Amino acid sequence: MAGQQQGPDLGRRIIVLGPSCSGKTTLAAEIARRTGAPFVELDALFWKPGWTTPPDDEFREKLIESHAGDAWVSAGNYLRHTRGVTWPRADTIIWLDFPLHITTRRVLARSWRRWRSRELLWGTNRERFWAQFKLWSPNDSLIAYNAFQHRKHRATFEQAMHEAKAAGKRFLRLRSQRSVERLLQRLGTERPADEAPTAP
C-alpha cells in the first residue's frame, strides 16, 4: 500500500555481532521471538564448567549442528570459529557498533547484578564481578577485552561489511540503542517466520 512503511527484510538466517554488553543476546532473542526462528546463543555452546573452553573441533561441530536449519538467529562473535561456518550461511549480519563508554557501563551493571544474585550462567558457571577490574587482563575482564579488541573488531567488521555486500548479504551497522529500537519497530510485532514483516 502506498505510504506504508515496510519492515526490513532480514532473511531467515541472522547473526548479531558486537562487543560484550552491546546487547547481542537481547536483540537476537527478540528477533527470534518475532520471526519464530530458533535462537542460538554462542556463549551457551562455547563455555564448559569452570569457565573452561572446548577443543576447536568440538565447538565447530556444535556450530554446524545448531546452524544447520533453514532459519535461525545467532548471537555472539567467536570470529575465529564462526567466519568460516555461520557467516557464509547468513542472510543478514547485524553489527552493534556501540562506543566503549556504553559497553563499559553495561559490563559493570550486568556483572554486579549476576554476581549479587549468584545467577547460573548457561547452566555451568557463576559471574566473577571483581575480575572486571583487572584492566590489564583481557582474559579476566570484559572491560579490558572490549578495550583491547575494539579497533581489531571494528576493522574486521568493516571489512566484513564490504564482503557481505559483494556476496549479496545484508549487513546492518547499528551505533546506538535508538537505532536498535528503530529496527525492532520496523520489524513489527510477532508474526509467522514466512510472513513478510510490515510496520504496525
What residues does 94 pair with on adjacent strands?
Answer: 16, 172
For residue 167, give the C-alpha cell: 556476496
pLDDT in tens, 150-179: 888 888 888 878 887 788 889 899 999 999
Domains and CATH numbers, the chain: 13-99+152-187 (3.40.50.300)
Q: Is the pTM of this model over 0.75?
A: yes
pLDDT recorded at residue 129: 79
Tens of pLDDT, residues 4-38:
344 568 999 999 999 888 999 999 999 999 999 99
Distance CA 63, CA 87 (A): 11
